[in-house]
């Protein structure tokens, strides 16, 4: 993947999330990233024509074989830490389960100015890394993530997701090489909705300071847009607060396309 300029990547494996979500992500990146860039989809099914090509002439969309070696679910992301696949150029990774609502330039500028090997989100629920938005500067520390997985270095531990494994490798082998985005640049939809239930003004202020809205767990964007089809995570979550059933639905409609 060695190439001058900026590269943005995502991973699409299995059938958990629809392919159109990848196309929507690429379109959002194209609208919110001013400089020319490549958008690369690493997938276990690198079939031609799966994803809609970009409408912007400053974005190139490429589909690559993840060559995941049997990695399942979220763990497919670990393959991005192998320079044999991704090369040595820094890149921005984005999950497909997010909504980009403002310019990504602050993230790119922070990534380029940092000496950290990885910059990620400080998780909203646990004292670990959240891997939904990553700046990766390939080096020996990032390669150690993939090498440790291949060698089964932590085989005696149980990891519920890729981010737990990534965090553990850095925690044990290179804690100073892991950094976090400034608080608020990437917001949790669930955390904002919870805040909005008691302080709508504060939630709106946090939203406006964010460039990315992350949908971890449930609901996902389409469930917010159609709350009565998915009442468990919307209507029944706040049965006495109808304003929260479709919380930020208009925000999603504006950007998630």
Q: Taking the domains of the chain in order of start, what are their residue ranges?
A: 6-180, 186-255
pLDDT grade for 233, boundaries at 50, 70 and 90:
confident
Residues sharing a CB contact under 8 Å with residue 66, sequence separation 6 or more, in sequence order = 11, 13, 42, 43, 44, 46, 76, 79, 85
Average pLDDT over residues 25-32: 95
Which stretches within the chain are classed as H helix? 19-32, 83-86, 105-113, 140-150, 162-173, 189-196, 200-208, 221-225, 249-255
- pLDDT confidence of residue 194: 96
Query: Of the candidates 62, 221, 79, which has an alpha carbon nearest to the alpha carbon of residue 147?
Result: 79
* Per-residue DSSP letter, 154: T
- pLDDT confidence of residue 56: 73
What's the rounded Cα separation, in Å, for the pair 29 and 137? 20
Architecture of the domain whose range is 6-180: Alpha-Beta Complex (3.90)
- pLDDT confidence of residue 2: 46
pLDDT in tens, 95-153: 999 999 999 999 999 999 999 999 999 999 999 999 999 999 999 999 999 999 989 99
pLDDT grade for 70, boundaries at 50, 70 and 90:
low
Average pLDDT over residues 197-213: 97
């Amino acid at each position: 993947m060695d190439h001058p300029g900026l590269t943005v990547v995502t991973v699409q494996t299995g059938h958990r999330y629809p392919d159109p979500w990848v196309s929507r992500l690429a379109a959002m990146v194209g609208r919110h990233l001013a400089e020319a860039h490549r958008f690369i989809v690493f997938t276990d099914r690198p079939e031609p024509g799966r994803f809609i090509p970009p409408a912007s002439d400053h974005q190139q969309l490429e589909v690559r074989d993840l060559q995941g070696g049997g990695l399942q679910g979220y763990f497919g992301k670990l393959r991005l830490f192998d320079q044999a696949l991704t090369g040595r150029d820094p890149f921005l990774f984005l999950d497909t389960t997010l909504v980009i609502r403002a310019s990504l330039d602050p993230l790119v500028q922070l990534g380029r100015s940092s000496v950290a090997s990885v910059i990620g989100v400080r998780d909203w629920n646990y004292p670990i890394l959240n891997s939904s938005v990553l700046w990766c500067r390939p080096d020996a520390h990032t390669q150690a993530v993939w090498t440790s997985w291949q060698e089964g270095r932590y085989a005696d531990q149980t990891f519920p997701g890729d981010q737990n494994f990534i965090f553990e490798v850095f925690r044990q082998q290179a804690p100073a090489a892991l950094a976090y985005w400034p608080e608020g640049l990437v917001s949790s939809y669930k955390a904002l909705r919870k805040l909005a239930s008691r302080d709508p003004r504060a939630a709106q202020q946090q939203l406006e300071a964010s460039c990315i809205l992350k949908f971890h767990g449930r609901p996902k964007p389409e469930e917010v847009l159609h709350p009565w089809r998915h009442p468990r995570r919307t209507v029944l979550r706040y049965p006495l607060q109808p304003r929260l059933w479709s919380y930020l639905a208009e925000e999603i409609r504006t950007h998630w396309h």
